[in-house]
Every structure is written in structure tokens, then in C-alpha cells.
């Protein structure tokens, strides 16, 4: 389900999801129509991956007028691949989920 090299720096809430093998929604912010596609109590986890979003540095004033140098830092997220009730898979940012109770 996960790459052993990437589990070393996995945040605790993601490690809990990986250990459980099931997730639930962290809050009610997810669209109810989307939630209805998944089991209400335990959503099977099909995979977990670490995603690095590369930042941006612009040194050309023509790109962003008034700024000689603009830097957007790199970002790192964890994606959880969930299996819906019909067998289809969807990826979600890990902050939207928590480990399902055993």
C-alpha cells in the first residue's frame, strides 16, 4: 500500500490511516453527494502516496511586474487513495481524512 522509504517521514495521522487500512471523513466539509459514494463507517484505503509540489522562482520582472524575485516554496502533501462502494478509486488530501475506528 505504501513505499517503505516514504513511511519514515509520514505524519502521524497518515501513519494511523495506513495502519488501520480504513479511513473516515475528518469533518463534514466534503460534499454529501461525494460522501454517499463511500461506506459511511469504514472506507477502504487502496494506497497512500507522498506528493511534492515544486515551488516557483521568478527572476524576470516582465513575468510579475513590480517584483524582481518572487519565490513560492515547495509543498509536500500526502494523498490517500480510497475505494468507493462501486469499486472505483478516488484520491484525497490526507487532511480531509482520519483513521477509521477499529
- The structure's pTM equals 0.75
Which H or E run contains 7?
none
Sequence spans of domains, the chain: 12-50+80-99
Residue 100 contacts residue 53 (beta carbons within 8 Å): no
Q: Mind listing the pLDDT tens digit for each residue in 15-37?
A: 999 999 999 999 988 899 999 99
Write down the pLDDT at residue 4: 47
Q: Mind listing the pLDDT tens digit for each residue in 44-94?
A: 999 999 988 887 766 665 655 666 666 778 888 999 999 999 999 999 999
Q: What is the mean pLDDT of the chain?
A: 85
Separation CA 95–CA 15 (nearest Å): 12
CB-count exposure of residue 18 (10 Å: 0-12, 13-18, 19+): buried
Q: Are strands 56-58 and 70-72 parallel, antiparallel or unpaired?
A: antiparallel
Amino acid at each position: 500500500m505504501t513505499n517503505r522509504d516514504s513511511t519514515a517521514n509520514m505524519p502521524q495521522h497518515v501513519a494511523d490511516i495506513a495502519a488501520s487500512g480504513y479511513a473516515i471523513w475528518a469533518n463534514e466539509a466534503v460534499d454529501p453527494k461525494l460522501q454517499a459514494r463511500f461506506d459511511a463507517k469504514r472506507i477502504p484505503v487502496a494506497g497512500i502516496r507522498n506528493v511534492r509540489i515544486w515551488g516557483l522562482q521568478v527572476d524576470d520582472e516582465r513575468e510579475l511586474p513590480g517584483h524582481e524575485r518572487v519565490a513560492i516554496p515547495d509543498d509536500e502533501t500526502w494523498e490517500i487513495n480510497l475505494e468507493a462502494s462501486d469499486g472505483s478509486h478516488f484520491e484525497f488530501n490526507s487532511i480531509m481524512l482520519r483513521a477509521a475506528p477499529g
